[in-house]
A and B are shown apart, each in its own frame.
Chain A
Amino acid sequence: MTDTTIDRDKLRDIYTRTMRVARADEKFRSLLMTGKLAVIYYTVRGQELVSAAAMAALEPSDYLVTTYRGQHDQIAKGVPLNPLFAEIAGKVGGTCRGKGGSMHITHPETGVMVTTGVVGSGLPIANGLALASQNRGDGKVTMVCFGDGATNIGAFHEAMNMAQLWKLPVIFLCQNNRYGEHTAFADHTKVDSIVTRAKAYGMNGVKVDGNDAIAMYNTTKAAVDRARAGEGPTLIEAMCYRMMGHFFGADFSYMPPEHLAEMAAEDPLPRLRQLMLDHQFTEAELDAIVADLDAQMDAAAEFAANSPLPGPEEIRKDVFEEEIAA
């Protein structure tokens, strides 16, 4: 039975992480809207809370593998904003010196080891990180995030089987946002729930409302504790919504009106705000958190704008350990 209570500090932590994701996304869309930034951008609107609650259950040293639609995961895990903004802008001050971009954010200091641009590819890699932890006995847990669309690629199935076979300390977090690119869940998958696939591998599987902060946190925490105790992997299916198109500016008229209405009603941001008020946080307290975050966003955008562009010599660096001769 999943715990239904939560500690107030943890709730504040989840709120701050959620709003950091939300305000960063808002800032990016603003920069894109005015043409200050002209890059491909995958908005995470609607999935702020699911990853904030999940990452709040991890230690900073735990590993994370995510996808090109994983900016919420990276920010919630703790990637600092200045290099994140600069990386998305393709600047030298970015996490990857502008060589990865939004689709390949990497920041080992906060455990963000891989952001893959290929759907499903993160799962086998997560197993390897977890395998290293298992052999070392370092107690770290690896979380890999992906969407419902990733569960139909072979890598998902190979990785699930291997993880359970070796009882790896890994958590497969499927953020089921009900769309794989432009294709609705029912049009790409015949089972009702992704979590039923855990059974096929003898794996622990849990389905949770990803927009319920307490349930999401407690479900993840239970999976993390289990993995850390050597009891093996868990597949979590967290239900959520992708509230905008696949990428910035994309048409999403293919989403039926009843889905859009359902989505609006389930918006995690007002829901979390209400939960905070129910837990005796004041409006002023919450507003102060957001105001502080907004100042950080402005500073990050400024940092990114002022960071220099990478020079052409970067092409010869990091191909191999030794630089390639000019």
Chain B
Amino acid sequence: MSQITMTQAINRAIDEAMAEDEGVILLGEDVAAKQGGGVFKISAGLTEKYGENRVRATPISEQAIVGACVGAALAGFRPIAEIMLMNFVTVAMDQIVNHAAKLRFMSGGQTHVPMVIRTTTGVGVGFGGQHSDMLEAWFAHVAGLKIVTPSNAADAQGLMRAAIACNDPVIFIENILCYGLKSDDPGPNHFVPLGKAAVAREGSDCTIVTYGRTVLDALEIAGKLADEGISVEVIDLRTIAPYDEATVTASVEKTGRAVVLHEAVKQYGTGAEIASRLNEKLFGKLKAPVTRIGGAFSAVPMANALEQAWIPNKEKIADAVRAAVNWKG
């Protein structure tokens, strides 16, 4: 079977959506052919097909980029904003939080904002404190936004198609380290529904709930722990918010144990929300406390040695699972 990289998968999803609907447009810094099709080449080839009116390279103006997408969405378009790196969304927070997220509600449903904000980030490439953060918890805290992140190429394609088709604003988080990941080619017009988690590996002793790049770590650890006789189930949320609570709860009800894992800083992260909800739903049925693993509470450091110390490492993840399984109360 032929394979496809995550870069190709996202490009294909956008290409298909643009071919289908003239209202799908792409705005972002350097995204057009003249600038090389985006820093990560996600929009390569799209200008040639759809023209510069639909693939618009913008000035470095994040507020104007997101604001223009909000306006175009209100007019019935399905715009995609590319915010080069996730830390730069900070410059556009007003447009995202006060407008994209809330206009449907504040207008009493008269208008809505079907737009996608594509952005990338990731720890492990030495980009330091202002180019690496996972900031999904900020957006998960705002009613009206959906947050999606793929862990493999096929899901990236399917989630992007679903995100563009969604009638609400979606923040689509890509991870720099995942662009080269390959999946079996899912073929054209592949959709992965939003709000639906995947059981990436089945198991019976402990559930790791995670999303994005750390799904790979979780799967690797699950393989290793199987050799120790520990059976780990890995849930890939795919949609971080609103997340698939039914799948997560069912899995943890079965295993009785859970570790919530994310690359983002642990404190006040999405792991806290998931752990808390598991506690509320399954208190009497849990065989061990639900624990969380996330990035360290500091800016992401540049030096590789420090960066590796910052990131939730695999041994720590394995230890958390072992601790849950060996919990004696």
Contacts and interface: CB of A to CB of B under 8 A. Distances in A.
**Chains A and B form a bound pair:** yes
Given A106-B111, A128-B74, A128-B79, A162 B106 contact: no
Interface string A154-169: 1100110110011000
B107 A100 contact: yes
Contacts of B143: 319
Nearest to A127: B68
A134 B67 CA distance: 16
A130 interface: yes
B42 interface: no
Contacts of B110: 95-96, 106-108
Given A99-B105, A162-B64, A320-B146, A127 B111 contact: no
B83 to A, nearest CB: 14
B36 to A, nearest CB: 19
A158 B112 CA distance: 24
A133 interface: yes
Contacts of A131: 25, 56, 68, 71-72
B117 interface: no
Contact of B106 (A106, A129, A130, A142): A106
A293 interface: no
9 contacts: A65-B71, A106-B111, A124-B64, A125-B95, A132-B23, A155-B63, A161-B64, A162-B59, A162-B64
B61 A158 contact: yes
Interface stretch (A112-120, A252-260, A280-288, A294-302): A112-120
A127 to B, nearest CB: 5
Interface residues of A, number: 46
A130 B56 CA distance: 14
**Range, interface on chain B:** 35 or more
Contact of A318 (B59, B76, B108): B108
Interface stretch (B96-104, B124-132, B153-161, B174-182): B96-104
A159 B98 contact: no
Interface string A20-45: 00000000000000000000000000
Interface in B15-31: 22-23, 25
Given A108-B111, A319-B144, 5 more contacts: A114-B71, A118-B98, A127-B64, A127-B68, A135-B53
B184 interface: no
B63 A158 contact: yes
Contacts of A104: 106-107
Nearest to B53: A135
Nearest to B51: A135
B144 A320 contact: yes
Interface string B226-254: 00000000000000001000000000000
